[in-house]
Homo-oligomer: A and B are copies of this chain.
Amino acid sequence: MSSSMITGGVGMVGRQLARMLLARGERVDILDVAPATKLPADIRDRVTLIHADLTNWAEIMHAVASNRPDTIYHIAALMPPNSERNHAASWEINVNGTMRVLEAARLFGVGTVVYSSTTATFASQLPEPVPNDHPQFPEMLYGVTKVCSERLGEYYYRRYGTNFRGVRFLSILGPGRVPGSGWSAYTSLVIEECAKGNPYVIKVDEDLRLRFIYVKDAALSLMKLADAEEGQLTTRMYNLDGFSASTRELVDGVLAHVPDAQITWEFDPEYQHVMDTRYGVIQHRMDDTLAVQDWNWQTSFTREEAIGDFIKDVRQGRT
């Protein structure tokens, strides 16, 4: 039986990935600082939760030494806006945390480390689509920490043979976002809140057009990349793309499933400004040709399907 460790596995992508790995019979260890009560009920008793902190060498070494996974999916990170509020914590968790994971993998012979990076490693002014090897000058510390981690992982691959591979996610659409937990909290939130019957206020323009990947596609991409044949890979870090949606289209998608959703429009120029600058990168299409060519990547969910599935899961309490 294969075994996988998912850092940050309690989070929105990690738990979806855990479900997929369990479904195909893998042993799944989740390394997280969150308590067991935060794990979804359907997987709580089927995974091993290891309480460990990426900032602590001894904890990470012990976790990997005791569990000896075949593959580590390294997803845990401090995300915006928290990553920008506490730069010292971001640095320790996101950058040195990756160093600790890679070093533990090396010392204890873990075969593969799959890494989740971000398109926020690119600046806001970008060509269309953004090439896989475009220069990476991130706006936010979050992106900085991910660039550092990408380069370090590539080094471990070249120097020590650690099978480091990763993807760059654009904005992830899915349940479980909290205000402050990520870029486009507000976009995912309109879906989640309306699915729950709560009112929601939208503060950006209805024409603002962003690009998203559905959370189940995000999780799927990590598993598919882990499975890809080494000989087919032409790089270690792969841009992913997804679907485009304007705010209006998201709202229409919600209304199709929740006709009585209480959505109010209150344009706030400050919000719009933030979306146009700091989060400008997610207005751009990514060139995911290499992912398509090297490991046959394609998403499973269109915009409409993603919204529908999202709402269904929220209503069934399976987030």
* Partner-B contacts on A (CB < 8 A): 51, 53, 55-59, 61-62, 65, 84, 86-89, 91-92, 95-96, 99, 103, 107, 133-139, 141, 144, 147-148, 151-152, 154-155, 158-159
| In the bound complex, CA of A286 to CA of B86 (Å) | 36
Q: Is B137 in contact with A135, judged by CB distance below 8 angstroms?
A: no
Q: Which residues of B are found within 8 Å of A151, using beta-carbon distances?
A: 136-138, 144, 147-148
Are A141 and B159 within 8 A (Cβ)?
A: yes
**A147 near B144 (CB under 8 angstroms)?**
no
Most buried by B among A56, A107, A151: A151
Pick from B55, B62, B87, B148: contact of A159, CB below 8 A.
Answer: B87
Q: How far is the CA of A15 from the CA of B147 in the complex (A)?
A: 33
Residues of B within 8 A of A84 (CB): 159
- What is the bound-complex CA distance between A148 and B55, given in angstroms? 18
Give the distance to chain B from A231, nearest Cβ to Cβ, in Å. Answer: 21
28 A-B residue pairs with Cβ-Cβ distance under 8 Å, sorted by A, are A51-B86, A53-B55, A55-B55, A55-B56, A57-B58, A57-B61, A58-B88, A59-B88, A61-B61, A61-B103, A62-B88, A62-B107, A88-B103, A91-B99, A91-B152, A133-B137, A134-B135, A135-B136, A136-B136, A136-B151, A137-B154, A138-B151, A139-B158, A144-B151, A144-B152, A147-B151, A148-B148, A148-B151
Q: Which of chain B's residues have a CB closer than 8 A to the CB of A61? A: 57, 61, 103, 107
Given contacts A56-B88, A135-B135, 11 further A-B contacts (CB under 8 A): A53-B89, A57-B88, A58-B87, A59-B88, A61-B107, A95-B148, A133-B135, A135-B136, A136-B136, A137-B154, A141-B159
A103 to B92 Cα, complex, angstroms: 13
Known contacts A95-B95, A144-B155; decide if A86 and B107 are in contact (CB<8 Å).
no
- In the bound complex, what is the Cα–Cα distance between A151 and B96 (angstroms)? 15
Q: Which residues of B contact A87 (CB under 8 A)?
A: 58, 155, 159
Inter-chain CA distance A163–B60, complex, in Å, is 23
Which residue of B is nearest A235, CB measured?
B137
Q: Which residue of B58, B89, B107 is within 8 Å of A103 (Cβ)?
A: B58
